Structure 1
Amino acid sequence: MKNYTHTAVDRFLRYVQIDTQSDPQSTANPSTEKQKDLSRVLVQELLDMGVTDAELDEWGYVYATIPANTEKTDVPTICFCSHVDTSPDVTGAGVKPMIHHNWDGSDIVLPDDTSQIIRVIDHPDLEHQIGNDIITASGTTLLGADNKAGVAEIMDAANYLLTHPEVKHGRIRLLFTPDEEVGRGTEKVDIQKLGADFGYTIDGEALGTLEDETFSADGVKITIQGVSTHPGFAKGKLENALKIAADLLAVLPKNALSPETTEEKEGFVHPTHMEGNQDQAVLEFIIRDFTEVGLQEKETYLQNQLNDILKNYPGSSAQFVVKEQYRNMKAVLDQHPAVVDNALEAIRRSGLSAERRSIRGGTDGSRLSFMGLPCPNIFAGEHAFHSRLEWVSVQDMQKAVEVIVNVAQVWEERS
């Protein structure tokens, strides 16, 4: 990609200023209409590039095609995918991105809230960024690199392929999804309409990494029905649903089985939402493990803890509902080794050391893989996800663009 003027960073700086936060409590599709604000921008930019079929559907999904330019007829159709929404954990409204040029290796103090400091000791990947240009927010919002870095990189790669016809590739499909951050990013994807054989999400972290394994994930919703009565006449009668819920939270281990106490291949039981009153309370959990067996063990553990607590409240009851969210995509990807092998080759061709990793989370690729589109996750350069300390480097973003282009070329060459 010599002598190419990248567009990824300019696009990214514009995209992050569009508030696209998703809402886990919403039942709409997409969960927030404002996600479409960015999707409409993407469609127009693709049309301006010459992508004739770029479209935004009613559910907030953007589909587009870069036509094949190879004489080969057996090149699989490859999809590149990123999500437009940002995490509900930290506000994404009023993002003020800033570039720290030629970063010198010192801690980065964010100006709009100087208590927000990106410390090198806490972010070991920064050690490889000295001399690079680091993009952050200003301290009061997240940045939105998760996943607008990936969106911008795919858009830049599309621009490159469309303006460099000498780079041979098969048919390429682009997919931009809403609601990934609330676990519904593929809920309304039309796989037949997408028409791809294999895919890649561009939603990973460190330079050169490819993730081919994710958590398996379930959600658990517990609805506790207590016994309500007037507090002035409650002795021997009242069974407060809020206290039952609090008892359940209190018995969860303090030094294990939680996100803050686990790492690598360890799973967890994580409460995410609580609401109610003395009559009824609702608790929501996410359960994570890399194996189906581990997932079931954790759900059984939570159910048993609840049952034991309810023995102390004979008039009360609880409903325990498990909802599947996504599964470990490795089970699918292992059946299609070329998907991972071709991506690793593309990373190496970009002058990087390729590294396979497992991700303590999920991507749209997890669900897409089980929907018939084997789909590992390629780095986008995102760091400190879902926080006001989020950052990405300009140079990592440009390398991600190069990898996307190389993926397209490797598939064409090896077909």
Structure 2
Amino acid sequence: MDKNYAYSVTERFLRYVQIDTQSDPLSTTFPSTAKQKDLAKLLVNELLEIGITDAVTDEFGYVYATIPATTTKEVPVICLCAHMDTAPDCSGTNVKPIVHKAYNGEDIILPDDTTQVIRTKDHPYLQGKIGDDIITASGNTLLGADNKAGVAEIMDAASYLLQHPEIKHGKIRILFTPDEEVGRGVQHVNMEQLGARFGYTMDGGELGSLEDETFAADGVKISIQGVSVHPGTAKGKLVSAIKVAAEIVSALPKDILSPETTEDRQGFIHPVRIEGMVEKAEIEFIIRDFTAAELEGHEFYLRKIMESTVARHPGATATMKVTEQYRNMKEVLDKHPQVVANAEEAIKRAGIKLERMSIRGGTDGSRLSFMGLPCPNIFTGEMALHSKQEYVSVQDMQKAVNTIIELVQVWEERS
């Protein structure tokens, strides 16, 4: 990196997070919210302004762009990917980003809701960020670092590479996606148009982290049919689907198979939505673990809970539908070790301590890997995701930009 380079990642990030791009899991459109296209259009304009000639956004809200090769070598086309949407878990409307210059190590009280305090005891990563410039929201919303930090880092790296054509690299494709947070981020990606051989999502957390393994994931819907009768004459006749649903949820284990009580490589069964009336109720679950076999075991266990609960309520019936969401990208990445090895080398060349991690969740890279684009996940600095206490270090974002610059050079050298 040019030591005199003036990073644009911070100003880009501050601009992007103020655009509401929250996705909606209950929507049937794609993207799930039209407002995600507002950021897509802005990014296309900014890509054109920095000198990329083919930047476009399509009907689905994807952004595609190319950084042309500067080498005569045959180098695999690399894709840099980040998602534009923010999580439905917390409001993304009227985000007011605040830059806390030279963080002093004290708790950060967010001004618009002083009950929101980012405490180092709750966020130990912050203890290592003293002296950094920390960006937070104001207390009423999430920040949107997940994943607008990644978007801003790719944009800054693109700008740098176009300003420094002496840096040797192959053709680079940029992909910005909508709806990652609701599990549909790459549903309509045109892989032929993308035209990349390998990829990297910029959607990881702490500095130096590189993730080549994700949860495998299924969605489950249990539909319960009860018997509705006027409550005044209901004795021996009424069967409440609501109560059956409540018993199913109550029968889930508390100390195991629950996100509240698991960590590391432990999976879970997690009810995420319940809806219904006396006659009919539905429960939606997400099932997570690192192998498909473990998922099947959790689903068998949940089915047994459903069946035994329904059996205690004569007249009630229930069905269970399982929908595959994504699989552990390690299954694909292990067949292409150079993809992870080159990222490891890039992080080291950027002067950063490498941290190999597994994701207790998924990224667009999970699906892309199984769509023919092996795609591990690189850090961005985004922390405390999906919450009002979300934050990111400016210096972490700058180091992510450095890592991208090193990464494309590693690919060129090793090709």
Aligned to 2:305, what secondary structure does the other structure show? helix
- For residues 273-317 of structure 1, what are the alpha-carbon distances to aligned partners after superposition, in whole Å with 9 as ceiling and x for unaligned? 111100100110000001111111110111000000011122111
Equivalent residue number for residue 63 of structure 2: 62
Aligned to 2:222, what secondary structure does the other structure show? strand
Equivalent residue number for residue 212 of structure 2: 212
- For residues 49-76 of structure 1, what are the alpha-carbon distances to aligned partners after superposition, in whole Å with 9 as ceiling and x for unaligned? 111111111011100001101011x200
In 2: Cα distance, 1:318 partner to 1:50 partner: 58
In 2: Cα distance, 1:4 partner to 1:409 partner: 18
In 1: Cα distance, 2:72 partner to 2:61 partner: 34
Give the aligned residue type for 2:48: L
Q: Does 1:75 align with 2:75?
A: yes
- Report deviation, 1:341: 0.3
In 2: Cα distance, 1:124 partner to 1:297 partner: 35
Equivalent residue number for residue 175 of structure 1: 175
Q: How does 1:212-361 map to 2 (within 5 A)?
A: 212-361=212-361
Equivalent residue number for residue 48 of structure 2: 47
Q: CA RMSD in A?
A: 0.6
Q: How does 1:366-405 map to 2 (within 5 A)?
A: 366-405=366-405
- Report deviation, 1:355: 1.6
Aligned residues: 414
Aligned to 2:112, what secondary structure does the other structure show? coil
Normalising by structure 2, report the TM-score: 0.99
- For residues 190-249 of structure 1, what are the alpha-carbon distances to aligned partners after superposition, in whole Å with 9 as ceiling and x for unaligned? 111100000000000010110000000000011111111111111101101111100001
In 1: Cα distance, 2:115 partner to 2:194 partner: 45
Give the aligned residue type for 1:94: N
In 2: Cα distance, 1:185 partner to 1:292 partner: 21
In 1: Cα distance, 2:137 partner to 2:381 partner: 15
Q: How does 1:115-126 map to 2 (within 5 A)?
A: 115-126=115-126
In 1: Cα distance, 2:181 partner to 2:262 partner: 21
- Report deviation, 1:254: 1.7
Aligned to 2:271, what secondary structure does the other structure show? strand
Give the aligned residue type for 1:35: Q
Runs of 4+ residues over 4 Å off in structure 1:
none
Give the aligned residue type for 2:140: T
Give the aligned residue type for 2:126: L
In 1: Cα distance, 2:402 partner to 2:318 partner: 53
In 2: Cα distance, 1:118 partner to 1:272 partner: 26
In 2: Cα distance, 1:93 partner to 1:411 partner: 39
Give the aligned residue type for 1:14: R
Equivalent residue number for residue 152 of structure 2: 152
Q: How does 1:158-197 map to 2 (within 5 A)?
A: 158-197=158-197
In 1: Cα distance, 2:412 partner to 2:16 partner: 31
- For residues 18-69 of structure 1, what are the alpha-carbon distances to aligned partners after superposition, in whole Å with 9 as ceiling and x for unaligned? 0000000001000000000101100000011111111111011100001101
Give the aligned residue type for 2:5: Y
The runs of 5 or more residues in structure 1 that have no matched partner are none
- For residues 80-120 of structure 1, what are the alpha-carbon distances to aligned partners after superposition, in whole Å with 9 as ceiling and x for unaligned? 00000000000000100000000011111111111111110
Give the aligned residue type for 1:227: V
In 1: Cα distance, 2:193 partner to 2:301 partner: 41
Give the aligned residue type for 2:370: F
Identity across aligned pairs (percent)? 66
Q: How does 1:81-160 map to 2 (within 5 A)?
A: 81-160=81-160
In 1: Cα distance, 2:410 partner to 2:139 partner: 40
Give the aligned residue type for 1:124: P
Equivalent residue number for residue 5 of structure 1: 6
- Report deviation, 1:9: 0.5
In 1: Cα distance, 2:107 partner to 2:117 partner: 7
In 1: Cα distance, 2:32 partner to 2:327 partner: 22
Normalising by structure 1, report the TM-score: 0.99
